A and B are shown apart, each in its own frame.
Chain A
C-alpha cells in the first residue's frame, strides 16, 4: 500500500520537474506551431544554456543571474544562425519535414561534441543562488525555495506568452502565420524575418530553461538527449503547437515521472511513454486539440 504522504511528496517533486520541462518544451512548441519545424536540436540548445550558466557561476563572473541572461542571448543568437544559415534553405521543399529532422539532428551531434570539446565529458554541478538557501515548509511538506521559484518562473513565462499572443501585434502575427503563412505575406508581412525572430525566441527559451534547470540536476553533454525526448512527449500529449497544452503536458509528465518512481525503479520514465501511446491512439490531436490555444 502506497502511503498518501509519499504520493503528495512526489507530486511536489513532479511539479518541480514539470516547471523546467515546461521551460524546455514551450520553445519547441512555439517553433513547431509557427514554423512547422520539429527542431530536434532543441534539447542540445537547452544543454548549452545549462553550460553557459555553469561557466558563468564557476568562472570569475561568479553570478547566476548573469548566467541566465547570457544563456538566453548566446543560445538565442545560435538559434538565429541555425535558422537563417541552414533551416531557411529547406522551407517549401518536397521532403521538407524529413530534411529538417535530419538537419537539426546533425546539429545535435555537432553541438553535443562541441560541448564535450569545450567542457569535457564529466558531470558539472552548481548550487542555486545563495538567496534561495532556505526551504519552504507548508503543513509538514517542504520544498526548496529555488524549486518553488522555478515553478513561479514557469507560470510567469506561460502568462507572458498568453498575454503577448492575445494583446500584441507580434502575438497576432504568430497566431495568424501558424495557420496561413502565405496569407500573412499577402498582407505585407515579412514572413522570413518573423520566422527568424520566432526561432530566436524559441532557442532563447531553451537556453533560459537550461539555465534555470542547471542547479536542479547534473549537467552533462548528453543532457539534451533525455530532455528532447521528454519535450517531444509533452508537446504531443498537449497538442502540437498548443501553448496551454504544452503547459499542462509538462506538469503532467513531471508528475508522472515523480509519482511513477514510487511504484518501481524506472516506472517513472515509463509512464510518460505509456501516456504518449494512449494519446496517439485515442486523441492524436493532443489533450487540448492542437495549435493556437
Chain B
C-alpha cells in the first residue's frame, strides 16, 4: 500500500539529524545521552493524513540534501494541516536541534509533549532533545533533570 510505504519513508525522516554534541570544556562530569540513530525513530501515527505524510517525505528529502530551511517549511505546512500532531512537532524540534537553535528545539519538544497522548517513547525522545538543548547551552543541572525525565518515562 502507498500509505504504508509513505510511513516507511517518513521513518527515515531526519534520521541524519541526530547529533552528538561536542563536549563543552569543563562539563565532562555529566554526559547526556545523545538523541542518536540507535534511539528508536518515532513513527507518525496511523491517523496521520496522506497530505501530511507527503509533506514529511518532502521534508526528509530536503533535509537529506542539506536544504534545511526547505525541510523546515514543509514541516510547517504539515503542521498547518495537523496542528495537534505531536509527532510533527517532535520532528520540528529535532530539526531545530540540528540547526543549533537550542531554545527553539526545547520549546518545540515541550510543545510536542503537551500534545502527546501517552506515547512514552515520543515523550522520552522529546525530553532528550530538551536535555541536549540545555546541555549545549551550558545548563548542566537542567540537562540532567530532563535526561532523568526521559529515563523515567521508559522504565
Are A and B co-members of a single complex?
Answer: no
